[in-house]
Structure 1
Amino acid sequence: MTTVSEESRTQGADTRAKLADVAERAGVSISTVSKVLNGRAGVSVDTRERVTGILHDEQYNRRGGAQPPSLLLELVCHALDSPWMVEVVVGVERVARENGMSLVVTGMKDRRPGEGWIEGVLQRRPTGVIFVITDIPKANQHQLRSHGIPFVIVDPEGDPAQDVPAIGSANWMGGFLATRHLIELGHTRIATLGGPVHFLAATARLSGYRAALAGAGLTEPHGYSPRGEFSHEAGAAAARVLLMRDDPPTALFAASDMQALGAYEAARELGLRVPDDVSVVGYDDLQVAQWAGPPLTTVRQPLTEMAEEATRLVLRLRAEPQLKSTRLELATSLVVRHSTAAPTAGRA
C-alpha cells in the first residue's frame, strides 16, 4: 500500500490553494492554470498571457520547490544558415562547452517564436534561453519567468523593456566611423544602404552616418539612404538604383557586409570598379569580408563576443536572479582594407 507523508499532504494542499488563488484572480479554472504552468496547449493567447502575468506577480513556485534545470542552454534565432548567425552560434557554444553544458538551437521562419516553441522549452527546462534578433511575446516572457528560466536577447530587433536583459553593440558609433572614414578620404557624395526600418540597430547606424555628414558640413541628397533587408539581394538592388542616378555617389556605406557585397555586384554590372569608381564600406566584419575582391573595408561588430557575453549573463541570471545590471553594449571599430580609396578626379 502506498502511503503519503504528512509533509507531502501539506505541500499538495498548499499548491492547490495557490493554484486556486491564481485561478480566482484570472477568472479561469484550476486546470487552465495547470495547463499554462506546464506549457500545454488548449489555452487562448489572451488567457495564457493573463495567467502567466499573475503567476509572475505572485512569484509562484511549484510543489516541492522549483525543478532543477537541465545542463542545457537554448539558442533561438532566425536565418540559421547566414554567416552572421554562424558567428553567434560559435560564441554561445564556446561558453556552453566551457561550463559543461549542451546546446539546443531552434531556428525560426520569422523573427517571432512559433506557438509550439514555448511548450518544448518548458519541458526541456534549460538553464537559460538566448534569443538573437527576435521579438519575444510578452506571454512567453511571463512563462519563462514564472518557471525560473532566465533569458537574454542578443542585438534586439526593437527597444526592449528595461527589465529585459540584452547585449548589443555601439551601432551609432559604427555608422559614424564608417562615414567619417569616407569623408577623410575626400568623398562628398556618400550614400548609405540602410537596414530594415523596424530594426533599432539599423536606425542607429543611419543616425551615425547622418551625424558624420552633418559634422563635416555635408548634405544628404534626397534618396541617398534607401532602406531594406540585411541581404545581398537588397544591397544589389539599392546600389544599382543609386549608381545609375544623374548624381551618383562616389562612396557607399552599407549597413551590413551582405548588402556591401550586393553593392559589389551592382558595380560590376554597371562596369564600375571598387574602389576606383566607387568606394564601399560594410558592417559586421564577417569572415567573407576578407575574401571579397577587393577585401572589404568594414565596421567590426564583435558578434562572437556578444554571444559569449549573452551566454555568461544568462548563467549569472540563473545563479543571481536579482542581478540588476543586465544591459551591455560592446564597442565597434573600423577595419580598413582595400574597398575604399580617394575619389578619382573625374567622379569627384
Structure 2
Amino acid sequence: MHMARQEPGNPHVSAIAEQLGISASTVSKVINGRPGVAAKTRRRVEKALADQGYAHPLVSTKIAQTIELVVDYIANNGTIEMIRYASKWALDAGLALTVTQTDHQRRAEECLRGIIDRNPLGVITQMSSIDQKGKNVLKARGIPLVAVDPVDLVNDEDMSITLDNWTGGYQAAKCLLDAGHRRIGVIAGPANVQSAQARLAGYRAALAAIGASLPSSMVLQGDYLPDRGYQAACDLLDRAHPPTAILACNDLTAVNIYRAARERGLEPGQDLSVVGFDNVYPSSYLMPALTTVDQPFDLMARMAVGMILDARQGKEFQRHVVMPTRLVSRHSVVNLTHASHLQSESRVQEAAQ
C-alpha cells in the first residue's frame, strides 16, 4: 500500500485536526471559509496552518470594506497624520479605516487576532511590526499588508513605503553646519527602529563631509515621545559646555527641547538652534516656528491604500517605495556666521553655569 505524499506547504487536514484535537470537518470549514466554527477555534486552526506553511489563501465568506491601520501607539509624532490621511484616501476609495493600537507591542497578538476576525480589505502598519508568523496568517487569509516606515528590514515579497531618513538626517545636520554650528547635540530615536538609526547615520555623514565628527557623548537616546526627549534636552543643556544646536529625532522631541531651553533662560532661535523631523503640528505654530524635515504623510497614505487595492485586484505594481524628504526652513536656527549672533554661544554657556 502506498501512502499519499504530503506536499510541502500543504499539510493534511487530518493531521491538523489531530494536532488540535478537533474534527477534520472543522479544519475544512476554516480553510473554505464556511460558518459554524467558533472564533477561538478558527484562530487556532489558522495559526496551525500558518505555522506549517499553508500556501493557499483561506477562503472568507465576507471581506470587510475597511482598511486596518496598525500603530504601536497614537501620539503627535506622525501617527495622527497617518490616521488623518489614510482615512481620507480610504474614504475616497469607498472604504472605512479601522485603527488598532498594539500598546507598544504588548497586545500585538491580541490585535492580530482581531484583524483576522474583522477580515479587512488590507492592513497598513506604521512604525509598528507584525512578525513572520503574523505575516503568514495574513497571507493565508489573502489580506495584503503594507509596512509604512517599517521598524525592521523587509523582504522582497513584502510591500513597504519607506522615507529616505538618511537624506533627511543629512539635510537637517547640514542646515546647522551651514549656519556655523559645530558643537551639535543629538537626541536620537529608538535604537531598535530603522528610521531612527538612518537619521542618525545621516547626521554623522553630514559632519564627516566637512571633516568633523559627532562625539558619542553628544548623542542621547530618545524614543520619539516627550518625556525622554525632555530629559535628554535637560542633560545636554546642563553641561559645562552645552551644544549651540540640537538635532531632534522628531518634532515632538523638539517641542520639549524648547521647554527645557526656556526653563534655563534660553530662547530657541536666538540662544539655541533646534531642528526637528516630521513637520507635524505644532511645528509651524511654535515661537519661533520650527525648522524641520518634512515627511509626505499624505502621499505615503495614498500610496499605501493604492497598494492594497492593486494587490486585491491582482495588478502589477512597485512593491517597495522610498519617499524623498524636504527641509522646511523656518526660524529656529541661529546663523552663527552673522556678527549679531556671535554672542549666542556664550549665553548658552552662561545658562549652564
Give the TM-score normalised by structure 1.
Answer: 0.85
Q: For structure 1, which runs of at least 5 residues remain unmatched after alignment?
A: 1-17
Q: Is the CA contact (8 Å cut-off) linking 1:193 and 1:226 kept in structure 2?
A: yes
Identity %: 32
Provide the rounded CA distance (Å) in 2 between the counterparts of 1:250 and 1:35: 66
Distance 2:53 2:216 in 1: 52
Q: Deviation per CA, 1:25-77, whole angstroms, max 9, x where unpaired?
A: 797253784697579436998x86552144533x1554xxx545222211222
Structure 2 residue matching 1:291: 3-state secondary structure: coil
Rounded to whole Å, the distance in 2 between the matches of 1:153 and 1:144 is 13
3-state SS, counterpart of residue 109 of structure 2: coil
Report the counterpart of residue 147 of structure 1 in structure 2: 141
Matches within 5 A, 1:289-328: 289-320=283-314, 323=316, 325-328=318-321
Distance in structure 1 (CA, Å) of the matches to 2:14 and 2:160: 32
Contact 2:77 2:252 in 1 (8 A): no
**2:223 aligns to what?**
229
Write out per-residue CA displacement over residues 236-264 of structure 1, whole angstroms, 9 at most, x where no aligned residue. Answer: 21111111222211111111001111111
Q: Paired residue for 1:120, among 114, 121, 125?
A: 114
How far is 1:184 from its partner?
0.5
Give the conservation status (yes or no) of the 8 Å contact 1:112–1:136: no
Bigger mean CA deviation after superposition, 226-235 or 250-259: 226-235
Shift of 1:337: 0.5
Shift of 1:125: 2.1
SS of 1:294's equivalent? coil
Establish whether residue 285 from structure 1 lines up as the match of residue 279 from structure 2. Answer: yes
Pairing of 1:240-255 with structure 2 (within 5 A): 240-255=234-249
Measured in 2, the distance between the counterparts of 1:328 and 1:113 equals 29
Deviation at 1:108, TM superposition (A): 2.5
Name the CA distance, whole Å, in 2 between partners of 1:300 and 1:56.
42
Aligned counterparts, 1:109-258, within 5 A:
109-111=103-105, 114-258=108-252
Contact 1:112 1:135 (8 Å CA) reproduced: no
Aligned-partner residue type, residue 264 of structure 1: Y
In structure 1, the residue corresponding to 2:67 is in which secondary structure?
strand
- 1:60 and 1:313, CA in 2 relative to 1: closer, same or farther beyond 3 A? closer
Q: Does 1:342 align with 2:339?
A: no
What's the CA shift for 1:166? 1.1
Q: Secondary structure at the match of 2:217?
A: coil
- Partner amino acid for 1:333? R
| Counterpart contact for 1:40–1:119, Cα < 8 Å | no
Whether the 8 Å contact between 1:26 and 1:54 is mirrored in structure 2 is no
Aligned residue pairs: how many?
A: 325
Contact 2:77 2:251 in 1 (8 A): no
Hey, what's the Cα distance between the residues in 2 that align with 1:94 and 1:230? Answer: 25
CA contact (8 A) 1:190 1:250 kept: yes
Secondary structure of 2:108's partner?
A: coil
Q: For residues 207 and 48 of structure 2, what CA distance do their matches in structure 1 show?
A: 48
The 1:230/1:32 distance shift into structure 2, 3 A limit, reads farther
Alpha-carbon contact 1:33-1:51 (below 8 Å) kept? no
CA 1:23–1:330 in structure 2 vs 1: closer, same or farther (change >3 Å)? farther
**In the alignment, is residue 272 of structure 1 matched against residue 271 of structure 2?**
no
Separation in 1, partners of 2:133, 2:47: 4
- What is the alpha-carbon distance in structure 2 between the residues aligned to residue 81 and residue 228 of structure 1? 15
* Corresponding residue for residue 322 of structure 2: 329
Taking the aligned partners of 1:284 and 1:115, their CA distance within structure 2 comes to 29
What is the rounded CA distance, in whole Å, between the counterparts of 1:44 and 1:317 in structure 2?
24
Aligned-partner Cα distance in 2 for 1:203–1:36: 42
CA pair 39-131 structure 1, distance change in 2 beyond 3 A:
farther
Post-superposition Cα deviations, 1:85-127, rounded to whole Å, max 9, x if no partner, equal 2210121111111111122222221236533333332332211
Q: Which runs of 5+ in 2 are unaligned?
A: 1-8, 32-36, 347-353
SS in 1 for 2:239: coil
TM-score (norm 2): 0.83
